[in-house]
Amino acid sequence: MRLRPPRAGSLLVATPLLNDPNFARSVVLILQHDEDGTLGVVLDRPTAIPVGEFLPAWESVAVEPAVVFHGGPVEPEVGIGLCIRLGSLEVVDLTQTPDDDSPVRVFAGCAGWGPGQLADELAEEAWFVVEFDPGDLLADSPDEMWSAVLRRQSSELSIFASYPSDLQMN
């Protein structure tokens, strides 16, 4: 199966072969991809922590579910805010107060790959690379995102949307 190369603004969707508990059945938005490596956030791992508990000023613009999302295993103490403004993805400075009513998703931590590491994982068929849709950031049912992103693919990837999480259940 021929896949597009990763780039900032695309999604990494874990293949059923990826068993790492940090990334199994996850959807990662790539924020940066260059010769120094790759940085992204896991879009479908909400925590039970309300945004207002740590960032009260951002509570009113937090996308439902208005909780902090586990962005990945790297630097979990660092907050990353993302929003869609005029159809474009933007990183938000969470140390400031919101300057408009654009909906914001807040992440704790990120996902990171060193130079060549993601290329190795792609060669091992650990990830599908697909296009990001602004609705992915604003999804109100993050637990359904993995299947939803795969289902909307026009290629043979859509068949994976119904892949059981436990083959014993098939």
pLDDT for res 145: 95
Q: Band the pLDDT of 170: cuts 50, 70, 90.
A: very low
DSSP conformational letter for 63: P
pLDDT band at 147 (very low <50, low <70, confident <90, very high): very high
- Prediction pTM value: 0.92
87-117 pLDDT tens trace: 889 999 999 999 888 999 999 999 999 999 9
Mean pLDDT of the chain: 91
131 pairs with which residues across the strands? 10
Say if residue 161's pLDDT is above 90: no
Q: Is the pLDDT of residue 169 over 70?
A: no
CA atoms within 13 A on the CB side of 140: 2
Parallel, antiparallel, or unpaired: how do β-strands 10-14 and 127-131 relate?
A: antiparallel
Contacts of 65 (CB under 8 A, 6+ apart): 46, 140, 142
What is the C-alpha to C-alpha distance for residues 150 and 156, in angstroms, rounded to an integer? 9
Look-up of token digits 């309300």: 50
Percent of the chain scored above 90 by pLDDT? 79
At 135, list the tokens.
């609705």
User: Is the peptide bond between 142 and the residue preceding it cis, with omega within 30 degrees of 0?
Assistant: no
